[in-house]
Structure 1
Amino acid sequence: SPAYGSPALDELNARQPQSAPAAEHRMQLLMVQRADGGLTIGDTHEYEHPFAFDTVEDPYEHLTGVVESLLGRPLPRIRHRWAGVYAQCTDTRRVVHRQQVRDGAWLVTGPGGRGMTCSPAIAETTANELGW
């Protein structure tokens, strides 16, 4: 993700370059075991407008292969897929856009696909900035 860009990440990529599919589709391997034992696996990113309205199988086949090599076994059938479009703050000096929309009401939006990862820190920072 562009929010995680840094000289340290550039150095890591120079030492351990990403595969062509991973770089092309801006992949990040995320894997979470669900309460039922299933896995949520992802994901790919697209940042250039206009966004494609469809999903392409090649990147998902690549991710499946990487996960299977890490787990040492084939994955079961994929039951669900989703494609999300997330609002992303374009001001590179901050992760989210904060704006008071009326007395006592604030709009906090734009973390892109980082909301699940960063929401506790976004909430804490917002509360601190607003003196809550």
Structure 2
Amino acid sequence: MKSCLIVDDSRVVRMVARKILEQLEFAIDEAADGQAAVEACRKAMPDAILLDWNMPVMNGIDFLRALRQMPGGDRPVVVFCTTENEMSRIQEALMAGANEYIMKPFDSDIIQSKFQQVGLI
């Protein structure tokens, strides 16, 4: 079973994403901010990360840059899931190492489609 770390400061978003990804047969871990996500990745590097941009403590882009510097941090597929829709933000995320980018609000079809595009399902 593949694993996915859901990183979002919204408990509701994490709950909805968890439900969708569990239906796609992913083992789920959650983090409410980038720093908690760094700690989770140090314990066990996931196969995929669904990542919010705007969070307290450490935002998504700073987490992504830290992740890509960690041992094994090049392996997870990172899908940004955010309200940030400016082209400059999307380019910044991709340059920092994101594999895909989806906008909130999302649904099961959107997540399934993106995870298929990057070869996770």
**TM-score, length-normalised on structure 2?**
0.31
**TM-score, length-normalised on structure 1?**
0.30
Structure 1 or 2: larger helix share?
A: 2
